Chain A
Amino acid sequence: MTGATVALTAIPPYLVVAVASLLVLALPRAVGHGLGALATAFVLAQAVLLGDGGTGAHLATRFLGFDVVFFNVDPFSLLMGVVVGFLATAAVLYAYGSDAPRWVTSFALLYVATTLGTIYAGDWLTLIFFWELTAVTSTLLVWQHGGAAVRAGYRYALFHGTGGTILLAAVVVHFANAGTFLFSETAGIHPTATVLAAIGIGINCGFVFLHSWLPDTYPRPHVAASVFLSVFTTKTAAYVMYRAFPEGGMWLAYLGGIMAVYGAFFALLQYDPRRLLSYHIQAQLGYMLAGFGLATAVGEFAVVGGFAHLFNNVLYKSLLFMAVGVVIYRTGVEDIREMGGLWRVMPVTFLVYVVGAASITAVPGFNGFISKGMVLDSAHEVHEYVLLLDSGLLWWLLVLGGVGTFMSFIKLGYYVFFHGSATLSPDDATPFQTAGMVLAAGACVFFGVFYTQLIELMPFTDLILSDEVYFKPYSTSHLTESAALLVAGFVGFFALKRPLGWLAHHVRDVDAVLFPAAFYAGRWSVWGVTESWAAVDRATMRVVGGAKWVAMNPRRLLANAGVDAEIRAGIGRSVLLLTLTAAVALFALLLG
């Protein structure tokens, strides 16, 4: 390691960002945002520089009597550091251009800082510490907006508080069995903690039925806050999922497949653009988890596919939130049916939307095509429950999710930018919004074309690029597959437009049951606890009251019992007591 690298390993990036978040509050808005962007750019630069021989467990120390590592640098945390640093920089620029209040940017940077802490943790104790902090900072970020965001923020906090506690339990179980909090080179979390860890992390990953907070929360806060929120919590969760289960498992892969279909299907039914995108977060996480889940069944190729998809997803998902955010910022409308024809007045926004949509739907030439192809290829090698085309259930789930993704982005683009004549004529994106979006969009195209650069950032680079692995994204079969998906998407959307509209009115997600159920369960349990406590309280107070009366009126008690005696000892009785005491002491000693 060179001297500069050593110096870099001594600076935990989250401290830099945390300091920047305070400065944003203290300094003038432009200067503060500039420093914020510099801080996140530093995170990116640090991650890139440390990639050259800077790996290792840095800032290892003892905390509360346990061995901990505050700055763990390995290929996985580095790739997270690169993409988080890059995207956060773009998002800070975007926030500056979106008139985000200083508090939003400050909370957002704090949120980024805690995310980085989670990413660079080298042990479960540090990880759970930052994990919980991330829940707090992201809740603050939601709450800051006020209004409808407050109630959603409460639900968000409840979900993440629950998830954090379950993960904490998992970490404790892990420690009890493994005897250390430190990450192991080969194994993840201890097998006895599997279920706890899966559920705890799964809540943040948006597992089906545990995902309600996702579409509930992300559409509500400031548009700039949504950009931050959309990428960090869920992607960090996917990363931690890999840390916990580096060997994967078919349960994880199938869960991912179901998430892909479920998320894409419900996305299709949405008319709030940010809610639609939120469901896609769930769907996209499905692909990542599918990749991680195939770690043993298929091998490192699937893991790299998952991580590449994670990396790309951060880029295009935030890009889509930015583009949609510009539309909301300019029009103030949050229902795509009230938009339309905007491509003429907002050409820049339209263009970056197309880049983002092409990336997420895996159109050749964009980064999503590369990574989704890797995951699909991995899934293709699984031959369980074989259906049509000699392909297994998992592959079909993922492909079905892909078609749904196509359909919903055609729908989103169609309603926002075409769909009748323009009734609104807003301005296009502000310069700094454009800057943020161009950064993200540029990265989407760059990694789509120069895909070996993407692989360079991934772990197991040499293996993927070697001859043993067939990695040819632009092969004929891949292009055919993509074209088929595209056609299916177009045909599907325009054929099913009316039925989908009907479905959107009649199909509710689990939150229709979950939220009222939780609400009434909460009310009833509070009532039950309060009432039973009150009953205990009344009984206790009666007993205490009786005891107190007896204590306060000992003479009256004696009188009631028919004994009439003076209790307080006078001089004579005191001397008597003293003499008796001395006598007892003597007897005890001499005869005892």
Chain B
Amino acid sequence: MTDVLLPLSIAVPIVAATLPVALGRWDADVGWPVAAVTTLGLVGSAAAVALEVYTGGPFDHELGGFAPPIGIELVADELSAAVFLLVALVSAATLVLSRAIGPRGNAFHSAYLLLTGGLVGVSLTGDLFNLFVFLEIVGLTTYALIAADRSGASAYASLKYLVVGTVGASLYLVGVGYVFLATGTLNMADVSVQIVERASYTDPLVQAGFAFIAAGFALKIALFPVHTWQPDAYQRAPDAVTTLVAALVSTASAYALIRVTYSVFTVEFLAANDAITTGLLLVAGVSILAGSGLAVIQSDLKRMFAYSSVAQFGMVVAAVGIADETALLGGIVHLIGHGLLKFGLFCGLALLAAGYGARRVEDLASLARDAPFASGALAVLGLALVGVPPSIGFLGKWYIALGAVRSAGATGGVVGVGIAAVILASTLFTLAYVARVIERLYFAGVDRGDAERGSAAGHAGTPSGGPDGDAGTAVADGGGDAGPETIPTAPLAVLVAAALVAVGLGFAGAGFETLLDPYLTEVFA
């Protein structure tokens, strides 16, 4: 009966999303408990699904008893279970963070639940059109959440994402339409069969379909040059929202790209269309370099790590384009790992911003003395992002680079070696901007002692509505405020745990190989 968990995991958060707004008439604080209970249930469900998948193998659920290909199917396999687990855990962790630093309203929690439900839907659905629906749910709630702090800049960022994102989603829909025309079905598993039976891999309809879908995903994932919405959105959104969005939203789209490319179009389609792999690798390579380069020159911390995401997702897409078993394993590991790392990094930045008003690199000066745990976790996560072993960041990049070199060895092509070189170069860039952060945190040599404390004391002397309100305004007015000079304990514990997990998973290379092996074998059969 585990398969019932699949529809429940999607439906319950979406239904629960109505509760905070509905009950908000009577209780202004009902949102958090509703969200917390729902998310906890989601974590349990994700754990149960993962356990079933990794011990008993993949399973599916036919919605409403309608058998596919007509009916909609939810599928849990080795890949989707991993993403589901990441979504559930990061959502739960973000809730701890938002509880401490805001936003806290019922509207936020409704949107949060809707977003979570949508993300779970993206990771579990086995239907192309259903995927579009969930992508739209994710997109729309993200637009709303980005604008949640009601500042002008965030409204503009949200509007930009709305317009561009809608065009992107429409491109995806057009692509799905073409595929439907060619195959007459929308069920992913069925499409992969019908492409061969009713069309061919070189059918212009199929090719055009893939082109539209890939372009749409490129936007959702935020690959160069269609990443333009992403830095604004990450920078201007409230800190807790950035954490959630950066860790999960693009991750879900990248997951969808892997899913559609390998489960729907299949690796034979890639083999039959050299132009696609070349194009994907080209975009990915440019994305890696441009994202890393742009990240290096940023001074705003959130913007810096936003551009870093452009580069990291470039690597995941490169893994898709290489079409090698090891590389795809690396892509999946990096997808999960990047979600975890970005959650940790943005969580750490949010805490430092809330506690000390640090929003730009120079604001971090010698913060390690006042906030040793948050700074330490930030440094560890940053180094993991660079790819210093042992860490999950190293594992992902390592497998991708290994796969790239291997495929180059197999085909004698320079492209694989080029991708490996690009990954290496971007590691250096990543080191450059992470080193800037660490250098500021630890070696700025600024004595934050008396002068800062004096001004902080003077600041505390003015009536400002207690530490909670203080933290709220620090988030709301987007910096410039020195903050309460402390960091809330619960999210700090979550942050440190994230850093430890990021390092601990670095030892789990063999584990990832074993767990994902059935999926990879099936895809590359």
Chain A residues packing against B (C-beta within 8 Å) = 548, 551-552, 568-571, 573-575, 577-579, 581-582, 585-586, 588-590, 592
Contacts and interface: CB of A to CB of B under 8 A. Distances in A.
B228 A585 contact: no
Interface in B273-288: 273, 275-276, 279
Nearest to B299: A552
Nearest to B162: A571
Contacts of A570: 160
Contact of B215 (A569, A571, A585): A585
A582 B160 contact: no
A571 B159 contact: yes
15 contacts: A569-B228, A571-B160, A573-B228, A574-B164, A578-B168, A578-B171, A578-B219, A578-B226, A581-B226, A582-B171, A586-B212, A589-B208, A589-B210, A589-B276, A590-B211
A554 to B, nearest CB: 8
Contacts of B216: 582
B50 interface: no
A588 B164 CA distance: 22
B297 A548 contact: yes
Interface string B289-319: 0000100110000000000000000000000
Contacts of A569: 228
Contacts of B208: 586, 589-590
B297 A582 contact: no
Given A571-B164, A586-B211, 18 more contacts: A552-B297, A571-B159, A574-B163, A574-B164, A575-B163, A578-B168, A578-B219, A581-B218, A585-B211, A585-B214, A585-B215, A588-B276, A588-B279, A589-B275, A590-B204, A590-B208, A590-B211, A592-B275
A577 B228 contact: yes
A581 B160 CA distance: 18
B180 interface: no
Contacts of B219: 578, 581
What 3 pairs between A and B have smallest CB-CB spacing? A592-B275, A582-B215, A551-B297
Given A571-B163, A579-B167, A582-B171, A590 B225 contact: no
B207 interface: yes
Contacts of A588: 211, 275-276, 279
B262 interface: no
Interface in B59-82: none
Contact of A581 (B215, B273, B293): B215
Nearest to B209: A589
B293 to A, nearest CB: 8
Contacts of A578: 164, 167-168, 171, 215, 219, 226
B164 A589 contact: no
Interface string B443-467: 0000000000000000000000000
B167 A575 contact: yes
Nearest to B218: A581
Main secondary structure of the interface of A (DSSP, over half): helix
B229 interface: yes
B180 to A, nearest CB: 18
A207 B505 CA distance: 54
A581 B207 contact: no
Contacts of A575: 163-164, 167
B452 to A, nearest CB: 27
B269 to A, nearest CB: 11
A592 B215 CA distance: 16
Contacts of B204: 590
A552 B436 CA distance: 15
Given A551-B296, A590-B204, A577 B226 contact: yes
Contacts of A589: 207-208, 210-211, 273, 275-276, 279
Contacts of B210: 589
B273 A577 contact: no
Interface residues of B, number: 29
Contacts of B211: 582, 585-586, 588-590
Contacts, number: 68
A588 B171 CA distance: 16
A568 B219 CA distance: 17
Nearest to A569: B228
Given A551-B296, A552-B297, A571-B164, A590 B215 contact: no
A586 B163 CA distance: 22
A453 B225 CA distance: 89
A582 to B, nearest CB: 4
B226 A574 contact: yes
A548 B296 CA distance: 9
Nearest to A579: B167
B203 to A, nearest CB: 11
Among A571, A585, A592, max chain B CB count under 10 A is at A585
B344 to A, nearest CB: 27
B73 to A, nearest CB: 28
Interface string B140-157: 000000000000000000
Most buried by A among B211, B216, B297: B211
Nearest to A548: B297
Nearest to B213: A585
B225 to A, nearest CB: 5
Given A586-B211, A588-B211, A589-B210, A581 B297 contact: no
A574 B223 CA distance: 12
Contacts of A590: 204, 207-208, 211
Contacts of A577: 225-226, 228
Interface string B349-371: 00000000000000000000000
Given A585-B211, A589-B211, A589-B273, A574 B296 contact: no
Interface in B187-233: 204, 207-208, 210-212, 214-216, 218-219, 225-226, 228-229
A426 to B, nearest CB: 58
A156 B396 CA distance: 47
A65 B229 CA distance: 53
Nearest to B273: A589
Given A573-B228, A577-B225, A577-B228, A582 B212 contact: yes
Contacts of A548: 297
A568 B226 CA distance: 12
A359 B21 CA distance: 102
Nearest to A573: B228
| Among A551, A578, A586, residue most surrounded by chain B Cβ atoms (within 10 Å) | A578
A549 B210 CA distance: 41
A552 B275 CA distance: 36
Contacts of B215: 578, 581-582, 585
Contacts of B164: 571, 574-575, 578
Contacts of A574: 160, 163-164, 226, 228-229
A574 B214 CA distance: 17
A592 B163 CA distance: 30
A419 to B, nearest CB: 64
Which of A582, A586, A588: most chain B CB closer than 10 A?
A582
Nearest to A568: B228
Interface in B36-51: none
B236 to A, nearest CB: 13
A574 B192 CA distance: 33
B207 to A, nearest CB: 4
Given A551-B297, A571-B164, A589-B273, A581 B212 contact: no
Contacts of A586: 208, 211-212
B240 to A, nearest CB: 25
B135 to A, nearest CB: 15
Nearest to A544: B432
Contacts of A581: 215, 218-219, 225-226
> Which of A551, A588, A589: most chain B Cβ within 10 A?
A589
A430 to B, nearest CB: 54
Contacts of B163: 571, 574-575
Most buried by A among B167, B215, B216, B219: B215
A560 to B, nearest CB: 17
A293 B214 CA distance: 78
Nearest to B174: A582
